[in-house]
Amino acid sequence: MTAEFEIQGIGVGELAERYGTPLYVYDGDALAAHFQRLRALLHPRAEIFFSLKANPNISVCALLGAQGARAEISSMTELITARRAGIEPENIIFLGPGKSREELAACLDEGIHAIICESLGELDLIDELARERGTTADVALRVNPSFSVKGSGLTMGGKPRQFGIDEAQLLDLPDLTERHPQVRLMGVQVYLGTRILDEDVIAENTGRILDLAERIAEKLGFPLELVDFGGGFGVAYFDGERDLDPEALAARLNPVIEAFAARHPATRLINELGRYLTAPFGTYVTRVRYVKTSMNENFAVVDGGTNHHMAAVGIGSFVKRNFPIQLLDRTDEEATESWNITGPLCTPNDTLGKKAKLPALRPGDLIGVLRSGAYGPTASPVHFLSHGYPAEVLVAGGRSHLVGEREQAGDLLRRQHLYVPENPATQDN
Ligand SMILES: *Cc1c(COP(=O)(O)O)cnc(C)c1O
């Protein structure tokens, strides 16, 4: 018996045998414990909303919901997912620059806490839909601030963006509330970027957003019942990165929140988090099909690739940076070799790991891409080359549960309709 990667005492070999590969495995107990730790450290007035975009699996959502997470959603399916996962409408907000009439109508009909409005045209449409229903809509404005901050993987703010309404435009519209009688403006949302790994940057962002929210609400004359100060908490993926220190983060952030909370005793404060809640607790498990060499480099061709895990290509970078990659069986063997880990797609970009340090590999080995619980299959071209969706397994309470079916050929073909040409030509006439 050699050492192998385990999740709550279940060997990865057993999971691979039972559910097949490629496979996403989520450690539900670790996910819940991480949420509770953050919950205990973060200022009690700051509510944690899970951004379903990061991992919309309904069981992941339900598990977080059972821990007290609320939901930040951006599509009709995410709304249905959050509701079926047991999250109450008063703990759901809907955000996104291109909401459809149907999505906005569903927000009103479900009675979610607030629609986060991203344009003046959207505000007109919400007003119209609320009038049709003889109701008023609770709406928070997403603001594109004049300032930006450094230290984020993707910087928002201070730039032309399709998201939100420019701060300057809003400050120029003091009659906005009167123009939309069926809309009750009640909050402000700002999202300044993702993958932030600096505690000071997060605290500074939050302070500036809270100030901005006060300015906007005062100028436009609406009550500040909600401020969503975004999030964008990062997770270390690459060499040289370090994880946020939750204690240090809370020590910087909580005083900023406290100052605002004391001035606004009834305002709901929202912290939207996706990646930070789920990324560390997912592993993408693939099996080696072939090993080969090309021009003195080692290649292990595995059964899944960037079709399931596009982020592993290396986020926003021209130089390929590897996600943490590990041999999951024989974990006691030393990483003495250099391996390119490539998938089944017919494109050179289908590379999960470039020159990754690994032990000698052989067919049948299980290779894991760690920290893969966010922006996995749903953020990947799962239908490229028609391999379809991988299986998803949640381990909770020491037991494994299939929470996402592997797509089969029939699933992919079911939504296509065969047009049969009437007079087919053949190549030999
Ligand atoms: C994507 C997104 C999130 C989640 O971002 P993470 O970096 O995964 O936490 C939150 N809010 C908005 C507006 C987003 O677009």
Q: In the prediction, which pLDDT does 425 show?
A: 85
Tell whether 308 and 408 lie within a shared domain: yes
Domain termination site, one of 219, 249, 273: 273
User: How much distance in Å is there from the Cα of 191 to the middle of ligand 1?
Assistant: 7
Burial of 273 (0-12, 13-18, 19+ CB in 10 A): buried
Tell whether 321 and 253 lie within a shared domain: no
The identity of residue 92, as a single letter, is: I
User: How much distance in Å is there from the Cα of 42 to the middle of ligand 1?
Assistant: 18
pTM score? 0.96
Tell me the two tokens of residue 362: 């052989």
279 lines ligand 1 (CB under 6 A): no
Pocket probe for ligand 1: among 34, 35, 48, 53, the residue whose CB has the most ligand atoms within 8 Å is 53
Tell whether 263 and 131 lie within a shared domain: yes
Residue 155 makes CB contacts below 8 A (sequence gap 6+) with 148, 149, 192, 193
- What is the spatial distance between Cα 146 and Cα 159, in angstroms, rounded to a whole number? 7
Tell me the two tokens of residue 157: 């703010």
- Residue 246 sits in a domain whose CATH number is 3.20.20.10
- What is the spatial distance between Cα 368 and Cα 389, in angstroms, rounded to a whole number? 17
Tell whether 291 and 376 lie within a shared domain: yes
- Residue numbers of the domain that contains 242: 88-273
Instruction: Look at residue 424 and tell me if it is in a domain.
Output: no
Taking alpha carbons only, the member of 187, 76, 73, 178 closest to residue 127 is: 178
- The label of the residue with tokens 């007290």 reads 68
194 lines ligand 1 (CB under 6 A): yes
272 lines ligand 1 (CB under 6 A): yes
Instruction: Look at residue 429 and tell me if it is in a domain.
Output: no
Tell whether 389 and 318 lie within a shared domain: yes
Tell me the backbone φ, ψ of residue 123, rounded to 5 degrees. Answer: -60, -40
Sign of CA dihedral 212, 217, 220, 225: positive
Residue bearing the CA closest to ligand 1, atom 13: 191
Pocket probe for ligand 1: among 34, 142, 191, the residue whose CB has the most ligand atoms within 8 Å is 191
Largest separation between any pair of C-alpha atoms in the chain = 84
- What is the spatial distance between Cα 374 and Cα 108, in angstroms, rounded to a whole number? 29
Q: Which atom of ligand 1 is nearest to the CA of 233?
A: 9
Tell whether 309 and 262 lie within a shared domain: no
User: How much distance in Å is there from the Cα of 347 to the middle of ligand 1?
Assistant: 29
Instruction: Look at residue 2 and tell me if it is in a domain.
Output: no
Q: What's the structural domain count of the chain?
A: 2
Taking alpha carbons only, the member of 348, 333, 239, 334 closest to residue 299 is: 348
Tell whether 292 and 176 lie within a shared domain: no
Tell whether 269 and 334 lie within a shared domain: no
- The label of the residue with tokens 């993987």 reads 153
Tell me the backbone φ, ψ of residue 260, rounded to 5 degrees. Answer: -70, -45
Tell me the two tokens of residue 294: 């090309």
Tell me the two tokens of residue 29: 């107990």
278 lines ligand 1 (CB under 6 A): no
3-state helix vs strand vs coil in the chain, percent to 5: 35, 25, 40
Pocket probe for ligand 1: among 48, 50, 51, the residue whose CB has the most ligand atoms within 8 Å is 51
Instruction: Look at residue 226 and tell me if it is in a domain.
Output: yes
- Residue 300 sits in a domain whose CATH number is 2.40.37.10
Taking alpha carbons only, the member of 210, 128, 123, 223 closest to residue 173 is: 123
Instruction: Look at residue 139 and tell me if it is in a domain.
Output: yes
Tell whether 300 and 327 lie within a shared domain: yes
- What is the spatial distance between Cα 20 and Cα 31, in angstroms, rounded to a whole number? 23
Instruction: Look at residue 422 and tell me if it is in a domain.
Output: no
DSSP 190-239: ---EE-B--HHHHHHHHHHHHHHHHHHHHHHT----EEEEEE-B----ST
Instruction: Look at residue 129 and tell me if it is in a domain.
Output: yes
Domain termination site, one of 220, 245, 273: 273
Tell whether 152 and 253 lie within a shared domain: yes
Q: In the prediction, which pLDDT does 314 show?
A: 79
Secondary structure class of 12 (helix, strand, coil): helix
Q: Which residues of the chain have pLDDT under 70?
A: 1, 149-157, 315-318, 429
Tell whether 139 and 264 lie within a shared domain: yes
Taking alpha carbons only, the member of 206, 207, 121, 214 closest to residue 167 is: 214
Tell whether 179 and 139 lie within a shared domain: yes
Instruction: Look at residue 426 and tell me if it is in a domain.
Output: no
Q: In the prediction, which pLDDT does 1 show?
A: 58
Domain termination site, one of 215, 248, 273: 273
For residues 343 and 390, the answer to whether their CB atoms sit within 8 Å is: no
- What is the spatial distance between Cα 247 and Cα 245, in angstroms, rounded to a whole number? 6
